[in-house]
Amino acid sequence: MKSDKSKRQFTFGMTPLERRSILSLIGIYSLRMLGLFLILPVFSLYAHDLQGATPALIGLALGAYGITQALLQIPFGLLSDRIGRKPIITAGLILFALGSVVAAMANTITGVIIGRALQGSGAIAAAIMALVADLTREEQRTKAMALIGLSIGASFAIALGVGPVLNRWIGVPGLFWMTAVLAMLAIAVLHLGVPQVTIPRHHLDVEPTPKQFLRILGDSQIMRLALGIFMLHVLLTATFVVLPISLRDESGLDPVYHGYIYLPVLIVSILTMVPFIILAEKKHHMKEVFIGAVITLGLAEITWIYFHASLTATVIALWLFFSAFNLLEATLPSLVSKQSPAGSKGTAMGVYSTCQFLGAFVGGWSGGAVYGHFSFTGAFTFCAGIVGVWLYFAATMKPPQYLRSHILAVGKIDPEEAQHLAKRLTEIAGVADAVVVAEEGVAYLKVDDEQLDQTALDQLSANKTG
């Protein structure tokens, strides 16, 4: 009996090594994202005093990390397959720390832009995800990725609440110095807490594969979702170029108290989105919830167009904005996972993440430029226009199939047998697509849980691994 219990725990729960690995990698990811997010609610207030500052350059400085992240994330991830995860992650964190130091010491807006771009050049997200896959079993990988996703959301919430408070004590240069220290702490966590991987493996469910890019770029449904995350981060960055200034100058709220607005509103918005996540995922109303969230973003921006001088209206719009933003930030990756072909999830997510960082860059630069020419009303109108374009693409997308990704260990197998096994897998009820990768010894499946013949799948798996 004890043996059976241990076996079940090993199968369905994480091993101590997996827990240590995931907690350490969550620490690294959280420290880095906290450093990026801390300046979001305060930078546009600080940057006006920098030499050479204009609204467009302030926005560019806020979003500059996005362009280098977008350009280097996939190459860094692929390079980690060749020279190892830890060297790439260490180099990325050093670049991030150096960028933070450059931004902290800069007294010109150009210097801050260079520092922010250098921060973004430490593009380690793909390498960290690959390391997660290296250190976890297939059946625990989804759980591990979800925990990292939650840590990013927590970092965002903490940064919005704590950033304005820390800004009062140490200023924006101090926040950049703090970010550099956090990066150094992340390096320590990497080498002291994360187990060593002797031979990195490529994982199709996590990492991009160059030969699959054309397939993903030609998939209109996945590209609509990539456009969605692009526009969502255009809206986030453009809004936060303008909103802190509007809160101070139009609503009359001292920047010291901004954090007391952001954090409670963000917490309430997270509670607000939970029923809609359930409605989308469990009740299969994903498209309706998705479109509703996009419309809600538009309502928030329209409220700011006409009532940005009212503190009450600004707070209500902020609640609408955060509720929709968090809902979309949670559902978009889920939609990409559902829509991506079996064995192509890593490539689809690579394209998705690249568009996300490009959105931060475009949003910062364009939001600042529009604000510089047309003030608050023009900036919020620009954001509402972005929502209008997005709404068209969201409304015309196909309702998603409710398929989930599933990884099946098949053991050692030759390429010819892999093709035969893939055909047998697709003949099982509920298996919509299957790709068997002989080198990895796994099969990547897309399955419909409501129709899946789990018994047949288990039997076939047992025959292959037995």
Task: For residue range 286-339, list pLDDT tens digits in order.
Answer: 899 999 999 999 999 999 999 999 999 999 999 999 999 999 998 888 788 778
CA–CA gap between residue 386 and residue 133 (Å, rounded): 36
Structure confidence at residue 45 (pLDDT): 93
- At residue 280, does pLDDT exceed 90? no
CA–CA gap between residue 76 and residue 69 (Å, rounded): 10
Return the structure tokens found at 167: 């800004």
CA–CA gap between residue 84 and residue 90 (Å, rounded): 10
Name the strand (E) or helix (H) holding 121: helix 109-121
Please enumerate in sequence order all residues whose Cβ is within 8 A of that of 193, keeping only pairs 6 or more positions apart, or say none: 20, 23, 24, 27
Structure confidence at residue 304 (pLDDT): 97
Q: Read off the pLDDT band of 118 (50, 70, 90).
A: very high
Domain 208-402 top-level CATH class:
mainly alpha
Structure confidence at residue 455 (pLDDT): 81
Convert the pLDDT of each residue in 187-230 to its tens digit.
Answer: 999 999 998 876 667 777 777 888 888 888 898 989 999 999 99
Please enumerate in sequence order all residues whose Cβ is within 8 A of that of 401, keeping only pairs 6 or more positions apart, or say none: 338, 339, 432, 448
Convert the pLDDT of each residue in 350-407 to its tens digit.
Answer: 899 999 999 999 999 999 999 999 999 999 999 999 999 999 999 988 887 777 778 8
Please enumerate in sequence order all residues whose Cβ is within 8 A of that of 221, keeping only pairs 6 or more positions apart, or say none: 339, 397, 398, 400
Q: What one-character DSSP code corresponds to residue 28?
A: H
Domain 13-197, what architecture? Up-down Bundle (1.20)
Q: Do domains 208-402 and 404-465 have the same CATH topology?
A: no
CA–CA gap between residue 466 and residue 462 (Å, rounded): 5
More confident residue, 337 or 186: 186
Over pLDDT 70: what percentage of the chain? 95
Domain limits of the chain? 13-197, 208-402, 404-465
Please enumerate in sequence order all residues whose Cβ is within 8 A of that of 93, keeping only pairs 6 or more positions apart, or say none: 28, 32, 122, 124, 183, 184, 186, 187, 190
User: Would you put residue 226 in left (φ > 0), alpha (ψ -120 to 50) or beta?
Assistant: alpha
Structure confidence at residue 9 (pLDDT): 41
> Across residues 5-17, what is the average pLDDT?
56
Please enumerate in sequence order all residues whose Cβ is within 8 A of that of 294, keeping only pairs 6 or more positions apart, or say none: 324, 328, 387, 390, 391, 394
CA–CA gap between residue 333 and residue 349 (Å, rounded): 8
**Average pLDDT for the chain:** 88
User: Would you put residue 385 in left (φ > 0), alpha (ψ -120 to 50) or beta?
Assistant: alpha
Structure confidence at residue 405 (pLDDT): 76
Residue 432: CB atoms within 10 A of its CB come to: 15
Q: Which span out of 105-114, 271-280, 402-411 was modeled with the highest average pLDDT?
A: 105-114
Return the structure tokens found at 227: 């456009």
- At residue 139, does pLDDT exceed 80? no
- At residue 8, does pLDDT exceed 60? no
Instruction: Write the CATH number of the domain with boundaries 404-465.
Output: 3.30.70.100
Q: Read off the pLDDT band of 232 (50, 70, 90).
A: very high
Q: Read off the pLDDT band of 262 (50, 70, 90).
A: very high
- At residue 182, does pLDDT exceed 90? yes
- At residue 349, does pLDDT exceed 60? yes
Structure confidence at residue 199 (pLDDT): 64
> Across residues 253-280, what is the average pLDDT?
91
Q: Read off the pLDDT band of 4 (50, 70, 90).
A: very low
More confident residue, 113 or 139: 113
More confident residue, 447 or 95: 95
